[in-house]
Structure 1
């Protein structure tokens, strides 16, 4: 059975952290043992078997060093930046498949390692059986001489091979490097070559021996790690860009006013308005929440909050389209109920189908009447005379749920001093134990004493943010407070 320590053999499932620590310790111990065997070995230069054993120890040390580094990366996790060394430009290799005359691979080290010796005095060349398999060369064709070897080497790697062989034969340098070959069946393999010159009694190079290891699977695994890491880095960059675009689009669409907004100007029935956007616990979850207030040509005021399903640029762009249409229809004088019907048909026919909830209110300061409709949305909360309550919801399905549906419209008379709170369900849904947000709504209604002491709508919003801003929130949320009556005409208790 192949050892589980081979770095180019994938595990059946992701290891736990304790398992990785144990593997690192085991690899270090094994590396030390192999290194000790290599140091203690006394090798006769005339003994090919001894040179072979020493070379295998060298390769094993290299392999264990690579394995230790890879396990260390696995323990530390994915780096934030791009991998060292830049992008991989090596051409892709084809998977190695056994040919009919090639025995199946077992995954052991010996099945991927072959040896060779080139005698410079007699021109005799000796290859092991494994090396013929690695090159995909029939033993009947005989081994390749040093002059023939470059013919199967990638053109880009021929200079490297020539330099290694020349350095070994002329300068007596050991060989340690990699190059790619094209086998006779057309498959590309990466070989790691290690070798040394064999000197005669005069100190001249008499022959060169080498051990060649097929490291194609290992290098392919390393390349897959680099490419995956680079892909994740690019994905992270794309997500950051999309998040920034969604934030910018949201900021461009939501009301530009900060603090309190007052219209119509002055009078006991004027509106004092303030709104706030609360992001989700994950800042990347920018959704389609909105709040809006608009003074209409006839002196009425439009108040609306809503939420579209989804997140990112798609949700915010759909929100921008829907809010623009809502504003245009309100300016044209369409009342909340029919307006919701038009929004439903618009969203259902959109190129980016989505579901949405919304509440739309039209307030007449002349009569103090609030006309409103909702589409699967929490009802506005009315605070008056020391108590708070949710208004009775008229019928209305979520936007985009069905092509043709009607939306009922309700009316309520607002009095000076009343506080009206509009919010999306993300504000209260995660704040209480009830999955429908009932617990969060009770907490919101419990803010009535603080609303009564507040000097303006902005202070009411600040109380909401203090109460709900620190709550873990899976979705973003909006809240808008409308207070009836100009705060400048009130006296602070």
Structure 2
């Protein structure tokens, strides 16, 4: 590959082996020191300041690990086939020849973009086709500045891989000039910085959380005044939620307590009133019923009302009741009990082999679908085809239109998460740990690769 400076000016020679070894030793020693300080001072990380400190330590360790492996690559030269998922596999290089329209990519770049190494590298004209639509103008401007004005490239954009996952790529490059000073080609190094940016977002979010909700003087009351993360609902011990996920789905859920003041309970052991629920119920043939909802009141047994409703819902679903029939049949079943009626609910069936989602609702709740950096409400439909990497968000509570727009605006972050649990964390931290004046639940289902789609 040509020098990144000029075709007739050779690049400077790399530093000697010994000097690079010394840098590697320093980086590893510093990483060990940071890790030791983190273990000694992190605490349990349950309060906002502790979570912020933990996020900063993790970010520092992530960057130091990057430096260590990049220096090792400088010492050893490019590896022929980096292990997938390693730091070295997240740094690739490319050169685009403007005279022949040929492109030369390193093997790492094919991995970053999720492309078959046996395929031809994308030309500069084809490169925007894998970039997220809203980021294409940024890439075009960087390339134009490089080719026309000979400016260095240094910027980021998001790419959509063939499996629909979204990755953030940092690109640095320069024009390669021929003998008469004209641009002959463009040289670039591209780095997958998705995990790094995620770590930085965690630092920013926890810092903002800390600034909005400083620790109270009486830290013994922290749990009552600082619900920063989704917590387990009071009825959690009565029913199991499949934390290991379901076929074709990565699942996570959280309970967001009300911000409204509650009257003291009769005893410390008595559970607080609770009206909202979430559930993932296994059905025949790897099908899963996802549901969220809330009752008009806590019922005579306080926190047990949602658990009893889930039990009734599971019984109906396993007996063959389809989502479209569930609202009416559950209402009729609850009428024969002392439980209050359903205020609002969503009942969603997911079949992994066809990636088909069908749903029904009581009240005004609708599923929210996040795909390729954007979010939309699945309103006016009863069935949809999902894709690998899609993220489905179900929530309870009567949200104001502005809050729904806030949820949908999280699209770029939610479609880039590594797990459903990360999706729950982003939502709960965005809303300060609560979705309104009443307790609420959030359920996130992320479609995972592996299931083979069959014709219906």
TM score, norm. by length of structure 1: 0.40
> Which one has more relative contact order, counting CA pairs under 8 Å at least 6 apart?
2
Pair member with larger Rg:
1
TM score, norm. by length of structure 2: 0.43
